[in-house]
Structure 1
Amino acid sequence: MADKNLHVAAAIIVRDNKVLAARREHGMEGWELPGGKLEPGESAEDACHREISEELGLTLGVLWPFTTVTHAYPEFTMEMDVFCAPVDPSAEPQLLDHAELAWLGRDELLSVGWLPADLDVVKSFGFAWADVFNDMHM
């Protein structure tokens, strides 16, 4: 499985000035920004919409491109396109593919054990918190 490259899309799902963190039942241990692999011919934005619908039962509206990160895990290298995705305050994610979900405020972002690629994104998002929330009018 060495030298395997994965392209994934993930969402920083934002509601009530908090970000959604997710922990899967299977796979790598740790918390992540929800999302998943792109299918052949699928754009990162389309994959993000599809994955969030499949994993959380949420329909996302406008996605704001945030960053793209590349992280080399021992088994594979992952390129992750990350989008900010505000959701309605009444939107409730479902545990369709995760063991646990948590809404984290800015001061709580580092209170969970993030997967390495996600940790870099979360740290940069934490630093840009006010700018991101102001730019997205949340």
Structure 2
Amino acid sequence: MKKIEVVAAIIQHDDKTLCVQRGPAKFDYIHHKFEFPGGKVESGETGEQAIIRELQEELRLDISKADYFMTVDHTYPDFHITMHGYICPVESREIVLTEHIDAQWLSINELPQLDWAAADIPFVEKLMAE
């Protein structure tokens, strides 16, 4: 089974957290699901470097801080994912969606109302518990 290492950004601004919705996906189980933005860690990159690059590519967003939050291991039907989450405070909610079809800024208590990708659910649960 294919194993991939990815990073995810929990982007926060004024007590709201950014949630982005995937577009059509080749795997039905992540098609149109909400997730925290991020992507694959490239060879030679640290998690922090990957998150900075991915947020620039996906959201045209520059961040100055990425604090490690937690790591999730999840097995989907076609691949295994190790996802490192980072808390990323931002000064502005200005983003440009380049890969996602929707974005919502929600309070922590509102996060469970979305249809989340399975690997992202442990992040939501930990955010709600803290």
Q: TM-score, normalised by structure 2?
A: 0.93
Identity of paired residues, percent? Answer: 38
Shift of 1:126: 1.3
State the secondary structure of the residue aligned to 1:98.
coil
Alignment match, 1:105? 107
Q: Could you tell me which residue of structure 2 aligns to residue 72 of structure 1?
A: 75
CA contact (8 A) 2:108 2:127 kept: no
RMSD of aligned residue pairs (Cα, Å): 0.9
Matched residue, 1:24 = 22
- Residue range with higher mean Cα deviation, 24-33 or 59-68: 24-33
Give deviations 1:75-105, integer Å, cap 9, x for gaps: 00000010000000x3401111110000010
How many Å apart are 1:120 and its aligned residue? 1.1
In the alignment, the residues of structure 1 paired with residue 46 and residue 125 of structure 2 have an alpha-carbon distance, to the nearest angstrom, of: 25
**Alignment counterpart, residue 14 of structure 1, candidates 3, 12, 16:** 12
Q: Deviations over 1:6-50 (max 9, x none)?
A: 100010000110110001213222100000001111111111100
**Match of residue 136 from structure 1:** none
TM-score (norm 1): 0.87
Equivalent of residue 86 in structure 1, options 85, 89, 114: 89
Distance of 2:124 and 2:78 partners within structure 1: 23
Structure 2: 5+ residue runs without aligned partners? Answer: none
State whether residues 58 and 91 of structure 1, in contact with CA within 8 Å, keep that contact through their aligned partners in structure 2.
no
